[in-house]
Chains A and B, each alone.
Chain A
Amino acid sequence: MLNAAGRDIPESVRGFSSLKPYMGPFALVPEGRLAGAKIAVDKPRSEKVLASIDAAIDAVGLKDGMTISFHHHFRNGDYVLNMVVEAIAKKGIKGITLAPSSLNECNDPIIPYIEQGVITAIETSGARGKLGRLLTAGKLAKPVIIRSHGGRARAIESGELHIDVAFIGAPACDTYGNINGVDGRSACGSLGYAMPDAAYADKVVAITDNLLPYPLFPISIPQTQVDYVVAVDSIGDPKGIASGALRISRDPRELLLAEYAATVIEYSGLFKDGYSLQMGSGGASLAAARFIKEKMLAKKISGSFMLGGITAVNVEMLEEGLFKVMFDTQDFDLPSVQSLKRNPNQVEISASLYANPHNRGPMVNKLDVVILSATEVDVDFNVNVITDSNGVIMGASGGHSDAAAGAALAIVVAPLLRGRLPMVLDKVDTIVTPGETVDVIVTDRGVAVNPRRTDLLDNLKDSGLPVMPIEELKRIAYSLAGPPAPIAKTDEVVGIIQYRDGTVIDVVRKPR
């Protein structure tokens, strides 16, 4: 049946007896109660430290068919997920559901274990490279579930995603299970995405390369949530975990997109004292910070809070007093990791506090402005960030739909053409973020305002921006590159794209 975003969603697919179609960004009213971890007990002077991952797998009682989880704060430098999956495979355990907060190219070594049936299901935010191609080929027993960061926190807290064992890579961990992300050579900063796992999993294992005497301080994930601690030689490659300061782009096209996005903010009507801002880590988004900074200084505007994934430019803006506080779910570079340790106004928050739509209020709900990137957009303002122009999974849902839904002004930035491919289309291949939550699309050849936002159209009249209808942007793109040929697909569903509320906004069908 067609969902509210106009996508054809099958009533059931292999492995899922019923799929609930997307009804609109805030249409679903949740029912029921939160799930919870098992009640636990620990006697004084007992020992949480185990000798090996192997011993931990035994201790938690991991069995065929269970669900295990990981965080992706080590990004492309993560060793933990691969190590644990390898140890599980060696024990002959099969049929595992893997539920990491995201997957990266560094996780390619688990591919053989998918082929051997050790991992038979995956629920995550996205995947890239070989893993993305493998998921698109339908090599799992059931389709991969793609969730946003807020949607994942919701799924865990509601019990939809029940985690049997959470394995948490810990840059610093004491002998009684207190964890933080800011100390040690594998420091990754915020552990926000691991927090729901720690709070709701039946069993929690901390894996660290920096085992410290009790007590560790500061504490991000407390001893009350951690069953066992395992010390290993290395949990990640520091170069892959956090780069040096992410540099502002020198690419003139990204700078142009950034300047347009900053100008949209300036004229939006929201650009005043106390406004709040989220920026992604993409090139144009980072570069926008430079122009936003210039405009804030010129107009003597200071904001209230910044939110989401943090980079060096956010840290600079915080330190220069342009914002009062920064709520941090993830740190993309070393300056932001160091700042989290040093600056009390940079506050680590969980994925649930950040973006879970089904609690008493996530921070995205108080967001004024977000700048997001896109793989492709369409004339209905829908955004795809998950599949490429061949229909292959190559990205991640991340906080995209969460921030778009919450923010008063969601700006999506994309070049009009990538190579010879139009990026403004009649229909995106896969909807991750529905058009009704997207307000402005910024391209290098023009800026389109969602017709629902007549107020913005008025406000942008004097901005000097090349504002035009989205159909005109599409027409320009097609006139330069021709209309793209449709992607030939089979009927086989290989991916389920959940909206943040758990309904199905789209499915990924296997390309021919």
Chain B
Amino acid sequence: MKKLRRTMMFVPGNNPGMIQNAGIYGADAVIFDLEDSVAVTEKDAARRLVYNALKTIKYPSEVAIRINHISTPFGYADLETVLAAKPDIIRLPKAESAEEMREIDAIITKAEEKYGFPPGSIKMMAAIETAKGLLNAAAIAAASPRMTAIAIGGEDFVADLKTARSRDGKELFVARSHILLAARAAGIDAIDTVFADVNDEEGFIAETMLIKEMGFDGKSVVNPRQIRIVHKLFTPSAAEIDHARRVLAAYQEALAKKSGVISLAGKMIDGPIVTRAERTLAYAEAVGAK
């Protein structure tokens, strides 16, 4: 089973205390942010800090860095500094075209050559935060073999739509669906947006259930307290695991008997059901569920 990305936790790139402790909460990935959480006057200090953190601290999870967009005065400098520390993923915010991703790809390729990193070892992900980006999502997701995930940045996106976030998220439904389609077509992960009100646990649970049911691989989080909740919701239940085991057992039995039609408790089992059961068990094993 490939790497889980149930939770990708944003950590401000200019906060030494948070950077120091970013690895202790069990997030599947941490994202050191050089973009929106860092003031313009702090940009250079933050990228040095993040570079030094990566060189000094051994993080148990994947490490991504959200750079400033390459159309700003900071994006190229961010890449130049942080690529030397070999992050796992470069995340481009406000992605709008496949060309941008390919330009970053080329910069990463050069850095990998320069520092002697294995070619292709640094991945990329894109965050869709505008209508234009959404309409190009499929091309963005497939822009480079480095592409490993595509995410939606909800706040900016709804602002671009000229509306606001609602509790049930109807304004994001089309965008979420579209991003999911783009991700699946390209064979990469789909990551949902952050839920900003860290004290609204109920709202957070509802949104996480929604995106899990839609098919997302994980969610961006802004507070370590959210990690436990997401992981719990993404863990298959004992009943789900049991059902998956029985499906596979029935399938194996049918294969052994060379029987064409397979059924379990009166329900027909076909290819997709078997695939889903296999996925459930692999996932359960990956998260250590029993």
B4 to chain A, nearest CB (A): 15
The residue among B20, B56, B288 with the most chain A CB atoms within 10 A of its own CB is B20
A256–B224 touching, CB < 8 Å: yes
A444–B288 touching, CB < 8 Å: no
Q: Which residues of B contact A444 (CB under 8 A)?
A: 21, 24
Q: Which residue of B lies closest to A446 (CB)?
A: B24
Q: Which of A12-29 contact B (CB under 8 A)?
A: none
B56–A252 touching, CB < 8 Å: no
- Interface residues of chain A, those whose CB is within 8 Å of chain B, are 250, 252-253, 255-256, 259, 417, 419, 444-445, 464, 480
Q: Which residue of A lies closest to B198 (CB)?
A: A250
Q: Which residues of B contact A464 (CB under 8 A)?
A: 288
Q: Which residue of B lies closest to A259 (CB)?
A: B228
User: Within the assembled complex, what's the spacing in Å between the Cα atoms of A255 and B201?
Assistant: 15
The 16 listed contacts between A and B (C-beta, < 8 Å) are A250-B199, A250-B225, A252-B25, A252-B223, A252-B225, A253-B24, A255-B225, A256-B24, A256-B25, A417-B20, A419-B17, A444-B21, A444-B24, A445-B24, A480-B20, A480-B56
Q: Which residues of A contact B288 (CB under 8 A)?
A: 464
Q: Does B57 contact A (CB under 8 A)?
A: yes
How many A-B residue pairs have C-beta atoms within 8 angstroms? Tell me.
24
SS class, residues of chain B in contact with chain A: helix
Q: Which residues of B contact A419 (CB under 8 A)?
A: 17
- Interface residues of chain B, those whose CB is within 8 Å of chain A, are 17, 20-21, 24-25, 56-57, 199, 223-225, 228, 288
Q: Which residues of B contact A259 (CB under 8 A)?
A: 228
A482 to chain B, nearest CB (A): 11
Given contacts A444-B24, A445-B24, contact A252 B224 (CB under 8 A): yes
A445 to chain B, nearest CB (A): 6
Q: Which residues of A contact B228 (CB under 8 A)?
A: 259
Q: Which residues of B contact A255 (CB under 8 A)?
A: 224-225
User: Within the assembled complex, what's the spacing in Å between the Cα atoms of A64 and B290?
Assistant: 72
Given contacts A480-B56, A480-B57, contact A253 B225 (CB under 8 A): no
User: Within the assembled complex, what's the spacing in Å between the Cα atoms of A417 and B20?
Assistant: 10
Q: Which residues of A contact B56 (CB under 8 A)?
A: 480
Q: Which residues of A contact B223 (CB under 8 A)?
A: 252
Q: Which residues of B contact A256 (CB under 8 A)?
A: 24-25, 224
Q: Which residue of B lies closest to A253 (CB)?
A: B21
User: Within the assembled complex, what's the spacing in Å between the Cα atoms of A259 and B228?
Assistant: 11
User: Within the assembled complex, what's the spacing in Å between the Cα atoms of A444 and B20?
Assistant: 12
Closest 5 CB pairs of A and B: A252-B224, A444-B24, A252-B225, A445-B24, A253-B21
User: Within the assembled complex, what's the spacing in Å between the Cα atoms of A464 and B26?
Assistant: 12
Q: Which residues of A contact B199 (CB under 8 A)?
A: 250
B18 to chain A, nearest CB (A): 10
Q: Which residues of A contact B224 (CB under 8 A)?
A: 252-253, 255-256
Q: Which residues of A contact B21 (CB under 8 A)?
A: 253, 444
User: Within the assembled complex, what's the spacing in Å between the Cα atoms of A480 and B20?
Assistant: 8
Q: Which residue of B lies closest to A464 (CB)?
A: B288
Given contacts A259-B228, A444-B21, A445-B24, 17 further A-B contacts (CB under 8 A): A250-B225, A252-B25, A252-B223, A252-B224, A252-B225, A253-B21, A253-B224, A255-B224, A255-B225, A256-B24, A256-B25, A256-B224, A417-B20, A419-B17, A464-B288, A480-B20, A480-B56
B286 to chain A, nearest CB (A): 14
Q: Which residue of A lies closest to B24 (CB)?
A: A444
